[in-house]
Structure 1
Amino acid sequence: MNRALSIRSNNRSSGNGTSTNSSSHHHSSRRGFNLSSLRGTIQPEMSKKLYRLIKSENNLISAHETAAKERLSIAQQLSEWGEQTSDEGISDISDKVGVILSELGEQEDNYAHALDDSRGTLKAIRNTEKSVQPSRDGKNKIADEIAKLKSKEPESTRLVVLEQELVRAEAENLVAEAQLSNITRQKLKEAYTAEFLATIERAEKQVILARHGLRLLNLLDDTPIVPGDAGIPYTQGHQARQILNDAEDDLRDWRPTTTAQDEDAKYVTSNSPPPQCQQQYAQQPLQASQPRAEGQHLQEAQQQQVAQQVTQQQPRAEGQHLQQAVPQQLNEKEEYGASLTGTETNTTGTGSVAGGAQERQVQTTIV
């Protein structure tokens, strides 16, 4: 943290430069308004949007610098208020918490300067766009002249010269456009990688400071006292100083542990299931369809059994029917023969044939 264990000692010291004054040095290093800020009105069309973006980034940086200043001011006011409470515990804890708050403001100021560096990287893209714009305009101007000349004087000898100039302009513009594409990709990635890494650093260091701030607050005994009783003695001064030392050590030992490649690799790995999971997912539809297939198989087997039973019963029934039909036919033939003999014996006589309807029918057919 590179600061003393109390804001008051820093405020009362006359000339030792501490990190509480480092933010003022950072602010003084930034230039204020000048005539160069009016360049936005004369920017080429190609670089106007990026110019506005860079201008907005400047406003964001100023906002973070203002937040850093306010943090430092609040930390100082908290320490001064705690000193005049005449409570030893409140006085010491408020002063130590003020140190934590001032360090939070310092981290905010560092983040503002990281944004400023990222903004400076974007300026390289803007400057390249400005340099490419004349080449693009020159090529378009020559192409327009050729089109006008072809419509008015198709046989003009100047067309050959203009076409040669157009070839050279297109070649120059091709090189410029390739350079612009390369610089844009490189600087865009560089600028926002730096900004995101600075955001991670600021967040992780703020977490470190916030945790130690909670440790400081736990040293303050807030047990209610009865009016007239003596105040609770404060004996945690040594522990409070140790907490600030721990916070300083943690900030000093902090190292960046994240890169863009690490994040990309982490999410690529997390989104692809392991081979066992893939096999399990592949088997789930088969397992879900197995009961249905088994049910269909049972139904088909039952239908086949019923069909076999029917086919087995049909020949048996037909055989029984034939067995029953043969004796019946034989009986009919015997009766038929008997009736024929009866009529033959009766035809020789003069009397009528007596008998059933069948016998009468047989007799009639014979006559």
Structure 2
Amino acid sequence: MHRTYSLREQRAPTAAQLQAPPPPTSSTKSKFFGKAGIASSFRKTVAGATGPELSRKLSQYIKMEKNVMRAIEITARERRDVAKQLSLWGESQDDDVSDVTDKLGVLIYEIGELEDQYIDKYDQYRLTLKGVRDIESSVQPSRDRKQKITDEIAHLKYKDPESPKIHTLEQELVRAEAESLVAEAQLSNITREQLKAAFNYLFDATRELAEKYALIAGYGKAVLELLDDSSVTPGEVRPAYDGYEASKQIIIDCENALASWTLDGAAVKPTLSLHHDYEDEEPADESEIADAEEEFAKHDETNGPTA
């Protein structure tokens, strides 16, 4: 993470990457992101207005998530530029300010790197949902065929109840319903499977990003402790800065903490309370109930009847 320590060198895989190898680079990444606001809106609108009716809502959702990814990429790139600018500004300051801003720039740059990695994992979530969209698209024809045969039968029964074609169509309808039944079952199964897998990708990646944010923030505050912010009088000289080794070690410790982080060792563990067991509650004491009734009675006597 230190500019002369790791950012310019090939990094070894982190513990999290060894536990779960990173996904391939997002196919949406481009240096031109951020300049197509109208195009993003157009894609979202078109996705909800074209294609099989059954898959339109999910198609629009997936396109909207693509726009979210592009916004994250803009943020990641801008954050890295901001980090460089902070270091550039601090270079001409006093020794302590120069060193601290340089190290803070390294930490902020690392946040941008983490956000860039997050995009690739976010794309895995989005691509998994595409599997549901594709199966929805494949089910639509069987629904349409069944509906078409049903409409033809109804039309013939109204126009020509004795038509021999009705029997043929009814046999076709039985086959179409059987075909549709298989397709609907497949849709139901894949929807649940892929939905669960997709959001597991998303929430695991989000938890990793959030906890690494917290780690960087903690080490950033440790760097700030090296900065002497006590007031000086005109003409007074501050003590010489000697925090170079300490600041470098903070950066190294931060990198080690990020590299050794794994999902199994995450600090935040969800706790659930899905039901309330009223039987476990202690019953109210009878004396407390009596006191409460007496208090209400006094209140009524004091205030009298209301109009």
State the TM-score, normalized to the length of structure 2: 0.77
**Pick aligned residue for 2:69 from 61, 68, 72:** 61
Equivalent residue, structure 2, for 1:101: 108
Q: Deviations over 1:129-178 (max 9, x none)?
A: 10000010000000111111111111111111111110000000000001
> For the Cα contact (< 8 Å) 1:82–1:91, is it kept in 2?
yes
Equivalent residue, structure 2, for 1:244: 251
Equivalent residue, structure 2, for 1:222: 229
Q: Displacement, 1:83?
A: 0.8
Q: Displacement, 1:2?
A: 8.4
Query: 2:172 and 2:202 mapped to 1: Cα distance?
Result: 44
Long gaps (5+) in structure 1: 11-15, 20-24, 293-367
> For the Cα contact (< 8 Å) 2:54–2:137, is it kept in 1?
yes
Give the 3 Å change call, closer, same or farther, for CA 269–171 of structure 1 in structure 2.
closer
Long gaps (5+) in structure 2: 13-23, 291-307
Equivalent residue, structure 2, for 1:192: 199
Identity of aligned residues (%): 44
Q: Deviations over 1:62-120 (max 9, x none)?
A: 111111111101100001111122x1111111111100001111122222222211111
> For the Cα contact (< 8 Å) 2:149–2:169, is it kept in 1?
yes
Structure with greater Cα Rg:
1
**Pick aligned residue for 2:286 from 285, 288, 297:** 288
The RMSD of aligned alpha carbons is 3.1
Query: 1:5 and 1:176 mapped to 2: Cα distance?
Result: 56
| 2:127 maps to 1:120 | yes
Give the 3 Å change call, closer, same or farther, for CA 135–291 of structure 1 in structure 2.
closer
> For the Cα contact (< 8 Å) 2:47–2:60, is it kept in 1?
no
Please, which moves more after superposition, 219-228 or 154-163? 219-228
Matched to 1:83, the amino acid is E
> For the Cα contact (< 8 Å) 2:2–2:248, is it kept in 1?
no
> For the Cα contact (< 8 Å) 1:61–1:113, is it kept in 2?
no
Equivalent residue, structure 2, for 1:211: 218
Q: Displacement, 1:6?
A: 8.3
Runs (4+) off by over 4 Å: 16-19, 25-29, 31-34, 37-41, 269-273, 289-292
Structural mapping, 1:111-150, within 5 Å:
111-150=118-157
Give the 3 Å change call, closer, same or farther, for CA 27–196 of structure 1 in structure 2.
closer
**Pick aligned residue for 2:174 from 162, 167, 179:** 167
Q: Displacement, 1:27?
A: 7.2
Query: 2:3 and 2:86 mapped to 1: Cα distance?
Result: 17
Structure possessing the higher relative contact order (Cα contacts under 8 Å, 6 or more residues apart)? 2
Matched to 1:30, the amino acid is K
Give the 3 Å change call, closer, same or farther, for CA 189–147 of structure 1 in structure 2.
same
| 2:241 maps to 1:234 | yes
Number of aligned residue pairs: 267
Structural mapping, 1:314-353, within 5 Å:
none
